[in-house]
Chain A
Amino acid sequence: MPMKIGDRSFDKRVEKGLSDTHMRETVRGAQGRLHTNKAKAEEELGNWEDWRTLSEEIRAHTLENLDYYLEQLSENVVKNGGHVYFAETPEEANAYVEEIAAKKEAKKIIKSKSMVTEEISMNEALEKQGCEVIESDLGEYILQIDDHDPPSHIVAPALHKNKEQIRETFERLKGYDKSADPSELTQFAREQLREEFLEADIGITGVNFAVAESGSISLVTNEGNARLATTIPKTQISVMGMERIVPTWEELDVMVNMLCRSAVGQKLTSYITGLTGPREEGDLDGPEEFHLVIVDNGRSNILGTAFQSALHCIRCAACINVCPVYRHVGGHSYGSIYPGPIGAVLSPLLEGYEDHKELPYASSLCAACTDACPVKIPLHEHLIEHRKIIAEEEKKTSLGETYAMKGFGIAASSPGLFNMATKTAPLMFSPFSKEGTINKGPGPLGGWTDVRSFPAPEKERFRDWFKNRKKEDS
C-alpha cells in the first residue's frame, strides 16, 4: 500500500471517523492508558528534559552529517559480508528485493513490522511476483488477514479495531472459536504464525536504528516476531528510511531508551536486537545472507529546508498518542499511513500538497505534540510553516481568506482603521444578536455558531471605558 490510503476526500474521511464509535472508544481508552504510562516513564528518569536535549542533539548532528554516517554504515556492512543497496525511489527498492526473491526462488516471505515497506508498497510488489508475504506483527497480521485494512497508527497499526471486531475477523477468516480476550486472541496468532516462520525462505524487517560504526541494525520489539524473522530464514532483508541511523552504540542506547519510553511507557521493550551482518562461521542460526536497503523516497528533499528536523523523527507515535484531533477522527482520516501530527507534517513533504493539503489545518495548534516529542521536533511550528507555504507560495487557500488576511494586516497596522472596526462591531453584529448572544452568525462565524453561541460585542469597549475613567480622574 502506498503512503496515501483510500480515495475519499478529507471531509468524508473525517465524517466516517467521527461516526465510528468503536474506533473512538478504543482510541480514547488507549490514549488515556498511554498518557499515564508515558508520564510514569518520564518521571522515573527525573530529568526528562535533559534526555530530550541530548536526543535532539544526537539527531541533529546525525542528520547534518548524514552522508558521512551512511557511508560509514555501508562500508561496515560490506566488511561484515553483507550487501547494501541505496534506493532513491520505491521502484528501485522493490526491484532489488524482487531480484533477491527471484534468485532465492522464495515462496514464503515472513515480515516484521516496517513502515517504510508500507510506504513503498513492497508487499504488493512481491505478491505480484508470486511470493506469499506474511506479516507477523500482531497488529499488522490482523490488518493483513482483514483484506489489507490500512494501518491507523504507526506503533499499534490496528488501533482502530476493538477486541470484539478482531475476534470476529479471526472467526470469519481463520476459524477461531474462542473469546475476545486479548490473551486468547494473541495465543491464536502465535500458533498460526509459528509454522510460517519455520518455513519462510526470506525474512524482511524494518530498521529502528542502524549503527554506523559497526554496520549494525537494531530492532525494537515486544512480540519477538522480528527476532524470529532474523533467526530462522536463510536470507534477511532489512529496509530502512535513510535517516534512521545513529553514529555509535552509545547514541543507540539513548535513542532506544527514548523510543521505548515514549512509544509504550516501557523502560525497554522485551527485545532490543542488534544485528551485525550475516551469521559468522560456526553460527547455526541467523541469516546466511544479509541485505540492507536504504531508502530515500523524497526524504532528501526535506534536507536543508525549514522542515529538516522532521527527519529527526524516531517513529515513537508520542505525538499521535497525545493528539486530541487524532483521538476524535482516528488514523484513517489522515489519508496516509503516517497519521497524527507527524503524519500531517511528513505526508505533504513526501507526497506533495495536492493529496494532503488539508492535513496542516487538522490541528488546533495546541502544541501537545511538540511537548510530547522525545527529540523535540517543533511539530506545531512545522504545521504553521506548511500553512505559510500553502497560503503564500502555493496560493492554495481561498481568495476570500487571502483578502480577509490582507485586510487584517492592514487594519492591525493602522490604529485608526482598527479602532473604527472594533467601534462599529456592536452595530455590525446587532442584527444577529439577542440578549448579548449571537446564535446564528454571518460568514465564517456560521461555523462557530453552528455549535456554540458567540458573545455580542459590548457597547462600551475597554478602551472607551479606560479613556472616560482617566478623564473622570483628572
Chain B
Amino acid sequence: MKVSLFITCLGDVFYPDVGKDVVEILERYGCEIDFPEKQTCCGQPAYNSGYHTDTKKAAKHMIQTFDHAEYVVAPSGSCAAMLKEYPHLFKEEPEWKERAEALADKTYELTQFLYRVLGVKDTGAFLPKKATYHTSCHMTRLLGEKEAPYKLLENVEGLELKELPNKQDCCGFGGTFAVKMTPISEQMVDEKVEHVEETEAEVLIGADSGCLMNIGGRIDRKDRPVEVMHIAQVLNSKKT
C-alpha cells in the first residue's frame, strides 16, 4: 500500500524525529512511503485568520501536490482536518471543489489510519512509564476521531495511562490565538498543565504538535518534570 506522507510544517522543521517514527511505523505494516517534496503548509494559519483568498492559494497547491496519492497521512489531527476543510473554500469553483473532496476523502490522521484503515491495534511498542493523553480539539471535534489514539495506547506494553481531568478542554493553543490573545491563552495552558500534574504523569502524550508545543513550552518555562511525546514516538518506542 502506498502512503503519501504530509509531514506538516511543525513536523518538518521542529519535530523531524516524529516524522522518522511515523515512517518506521508505517513501513513496519508494509506501507511504501511517498513524500511529495513540493508539499508546503495546509494553510490553516491564514484560514483561521480569515484570509481565505490567500488560503486558497495554499490549498490549490496542496491539492495538486497530493493529486496522485492513494492515501494521505499526517501526524496531526488539526492539519488533517484542515485538508478536509478545503471543499468549503471552493463553493464557487466546482472543479476545484471536486478535487478538494477527493483529497478530503483520502486524508487520515496517523492513528486514525493505523486503527481504521490498517486495522492495527497493537504496534508492539514498549514504554514503561506513567503517562496521560491530551485529546486535541481538532482531532476529536473536527475530525471526529475519539477512539483510535486510545485503542493504540492501551496496548503499549508497560504504559500506565492516567485519564487527564477536563480532557475535553482546549489547551489554549489555537494557532494565532496564542499570540493574539496571550493573557487568555496563558490561563488556558496553565489550567491544562495543572491537570497534567494532577495525574502525576511522567509523560504527556498528544497527537498534535501544535498543542504539544504549547503545553510543552509552558511546562518547560515552569520547569516541571514532565516529558512531552508525540503519539508516534510512543507507538514506536522499543525495548532497548
Contact = CB atoms under 8 A, between A and B. Distances in A.
A and B touch in the complex (CB under 8 A): yes
B61 A412 contact: yes
B16 to A, nearest CB: 4
A384 interface: yes
B16 A450 contact: no
B29 interface: no
Contacts of A371: 141
A405 B169 CA distance: 28
B7 A450 contact: no
B48 A365 contact: yes
A15 B184 CA distance: 9
Interface string A371-413: 1000000000000101111111000010001100110111111
B171 to A, nearest CB: 8
B9 interface: yes
A455 B50 contact: no
A322 B140 CA distance: 15
A463 B38 CA distance: 10
A412 B141 contact: no
Contacts of B184: 14, 18, 325, 328-329, 362
A222 interface: no
Given A364-B177, A422-B9, A413 B220 contact: no
Interface string A450-464: 111111011011110
A271 interface: no
Interface in B9-36: 9, 11-17, 19-20, 23, 35
B43 interface: yes
A448 B16 contact: no
B14 A412 contact: no
A244 B89 CA distance: 31
Nearest to B78: A365
Given A15-B183, A384-B48, A452-B218, A409 B11 contact: no
- Indicate the size class of the contact surface on chain B: 35 or more
Contact of B186 (A363, A451, A467): A451
B16 A462 contact: yes
B159 interface: no
B47 to A, nearest CB: 7
B45 interface: yes
Interface in A335-377: 361-368, 370-371
Contacts of A365: 48, 137, 174-175, 177
Contacts of B173: 364
B35 A463 contact: yes
B141 A367 contact: yes
B217 interface: yes
Interface in B163-204: 168-170, 172-175, 177-189, 191
Of A401, A412, A450, the most chain B CB neighbours within 10 A belong to: A412
Interface residues of A, number: 64
Given A18-B183, A18-B184, A410-B57, A452 B35 contact: no
A367 B138 contact: yes
B103 to A, nearest CB: 15
B51 interface: yes
B138 to A, nearest CB: 7
Given A447-B178, A452-B214, A461-B13, A412 B58 contact: yes
Contacts of A325: 181, 184, 188
A60 interface: no
Contact of B49 (A368, A401, A447, A448): A401
B162 interface: no
Contacts of B16: 458, 460-462, 465
Nearest to B39: A415
Contact of A405 (B51, B60, B172): B51
A418 interface: yes
A471 to B, nearest CB: 13
A390 B50 CA distance: 8
Contacts of B218: 451-452
Contacts of B9: 422
A422 B12 contact: yes
A367 B177 CA distance: 14
Interface string A439-454: 1000011111011111
B41 interface: yes
A415 B174 contact: no
Contacts of B92: none
A455 B216 CA distance: 9
A325 B16 CA distance: 32
A48 interface: no
Given A361-B177, A408-B46, A462 B19 contact: yes
B155 interface: no
A437 interface: yes
B13 to A, nearest CB: 5
A387 to B, nearest CB: 3
A466 interface: yes
Contacts of A185: none
B20 to A, nearest CB: 6
Contacts of B53: 392, 409
Nearest to A390: B50
B180 A387 contact: no
Contacts of B41: 408, 412, 418
Contact of A408 (B17, B23, B37, B45): B45
Nearest to B182: A447
A439 B221 CA distance: 8
14 contacts: A361-B181, A367-B138, A367-B141, A408-B51, A408-B54, A409-B56, A439-B221, A447-B179, A452-B189, A453-B220, A455-B217, A461-B13, A463-B7, A465-B19
Interface of B: 7, 9, 11-17, 19-20, 23, 35, 37-41, 43, 45-58, 60-61, 65, 137-138, 141-142, 168-170, 172-175, 177-189, 191, 213-214, 216-218, 220-221
Given A366-B174, A390-B50, 10 more contacts: A15-B183, A18-B187, A362-B184, A388-B50, A388-B52, A397-B49, A410-B57, A412-B41, A418-B40, A460-B16
